[in-house]
């Protein structure tokens, strides 16, 4: 059995402020320790249920160099650093039996949610629509077909990553974070186990569990989730797909339209593209997120 544990930072118990998640801020080291301890709790839970499991842990926050390797459970292997294929899901493949999302946060524009965002501050929203047979290109205002195809759904890191796992046939069996993140996950994957480790009061405030209590709950939940992995379906978004991305910066929009197939829509902040399948869409969304980090010369 192979498991991939993707660990973000904003949804870790006890963390409520960017000073705890930013390497340049004073409280970052403490945030790293809390993050590593929660990763260890989930590793332990997976191995409680499947003692011979191959466990990979993907450091999935910011620089992807946050988890403390020397403090990580030695029974797991760590994926760290960037750039890398599949970004927050590095190490995931068709042979993976279960994905577990730890320390995740709600998408941009939702809330209250602790440190809510989607990838970075430049991405305001991502909408993915499964196109009914015969429909036109994105941005043409087509209506959903009678075959029940989904209309454009806003997705944050939870949905985008869960759908990429689903594209490879891998179910997301567990997610932890604040209560808003857990609600977002439950709306997408009702069968998944969710572990709220804090109750969001706002962007930088929460009622949080004691870290040791959070770890105990995570260990039990991870064991339960992995044991029930065959009962949890992957989140599948089948193609062809239309994607719209709202961007905060005009500079980023200008860069995005240099990418073949990406066009600006009538909306002042929106770019759109079509993709034959979700794997292609996911990689192009990651490229747009990277372009958003480029500042004008």
Q: What residues does each domain of the chain span?
A: 2-116+156-231, 123-155+239-291
Tell me, yes or no, if the two domains 2-116+156-231 and 123-155+239-291 fold the same way: no
Q: What is the pLDDT of residue 132?
A: 64
Q: For domain 2-116+156-231, which architecture applies? A: 3-Layer(aba) Sandwich (3.40)
Average pLDDT over every residue of 259-272: 91
- Yes or no: say if 210 and 12 are a contact pair by the CB < 8 Å rule: no
Q: Which residues are catalytic?
A: 117
DSSP 161-220: HHHHHHHTT--EEEEEEEHHHHHHHHHH-TTSEEEEEEEEEETTEEEE--HHHHHHHHHH
Worst-scoring range by mean pLDDT, 63-67, 174-178, 191-195, 247-251? 247-251
- Cβ atoms within 10 Å of 274's Cβ, excluding its own: 22
Q: Between these two residues, 77 and 139, which has the higher pLDDT value?
A: 77
Task: Read off the pLDDT of residues 8-17 as tens digits, 9 standing for 90 and up.
Answer: 999 999 999 9
Coil, helix or strand at residue 8: coil
**CB of 16 closer than 8 Å to CB of 206:** yes
Q: In this structure, are residues 103 and 11 in contact, taking their beta carbons and an 8 Å threshold? A: yes
Q: What is the pTM of this model?
A: 0.93
Domain spanning 123-155+239-291: CATH superfamily: Dipeptide transport protein (3.30.1360.130)
Is the Cβ–Cβ distance between 73 and 53 less than 8 Å?
no
Residue 244 CB neighbours (<10 A): 19
CB 152 within 8 A of CB 129: yes
Alpha-carbon distance 36 to 242, whole Å? 37
Q: What is the dihedral of CA 108, 156, 81, 20, to 10 degrees?
A: 40
Q: Tokens at residue 273, please?
A: 């593209």
What is the DSSP secondary-structure string of 142-165?
PPPPTT-----EE--HHHHHHHHH
pLDDT per residue as tens digits for the range 135-144: 444 433 333 3
Residues whose CB is less than 8 angstroms from the CB of residue 221 and which lie 6 or more positions away in sequence, other chains included: 45, 174, 176, 193, 195
- Residue labelled with tokens 């995570």: 218
| Beta-sheet strand order (sheet of 241-247) | 153-154, 123-130, 241-247, 270-275, 263-264
Percent of the chain scoring above 90 in pLDDT = 87
Burial class (CB in 10 A: 0-12, 13-18, 19+), 234: middle
């Amino acid at each position: 059995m192979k498991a991939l544990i993707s660990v973000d930072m904003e949804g870790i118990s006890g963390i409520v402020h960017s000073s705890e998640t930013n390497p340049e801020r004073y409280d970052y080291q403490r945030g790293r320790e809390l993050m590593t301890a929660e990763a260890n709790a989930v590793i332990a839970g997976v191995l409680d249920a499947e003692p011979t499991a191959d466990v990979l842990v993907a450091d999935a926050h910011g620089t992807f160099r946050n988890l403390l390797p020397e403090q990580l459970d030695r029974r797991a292997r760590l994926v760290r650093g960037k750039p890398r294929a599949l970004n927050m899901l590095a190490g995931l493949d068709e042979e993976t039996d279960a994905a577990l999302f730890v320390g995740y946060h709600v998408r941009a524009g939702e809330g209250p949610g602790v440190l809510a965002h989607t990838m970075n501050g430049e991405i305001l929203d991502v909408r993915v629509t499964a196109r009914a047979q015969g429909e036109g290109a994105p941005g043409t205002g087509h209506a959903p077909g009678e075959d029940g195809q989904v209309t454009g759904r806003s997705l944050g890191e939870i949905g985008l990553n869960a759908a990429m796992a689903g594209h490879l046939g891998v179910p997301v069996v567990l997610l932890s974070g604040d209560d808003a993140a857990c609600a977002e996950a439950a709306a997408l994957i009702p069968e998944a186990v969710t572990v709220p480790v804090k109750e969001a009061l706002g962007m930088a405030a929460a009622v949080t569990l004691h870290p040791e209590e959070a770890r105990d709950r995570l260990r039990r939940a991870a064991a339960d989730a992995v044991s029930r992995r065959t009962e949890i379906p992957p989140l599948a978004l089948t193609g062809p797909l239309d994607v719209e991305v709202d961007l905060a910066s005009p500079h980023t929009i200008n860069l995005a339209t240099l990418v073949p197939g990406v066009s600006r829509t009538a909306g002042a902040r929106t770019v759109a593209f079509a993709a034959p399948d979700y794997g292609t869409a996911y990689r192009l969304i990651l490229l747009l997120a990277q372009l958003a980090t480029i500042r004008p010369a």
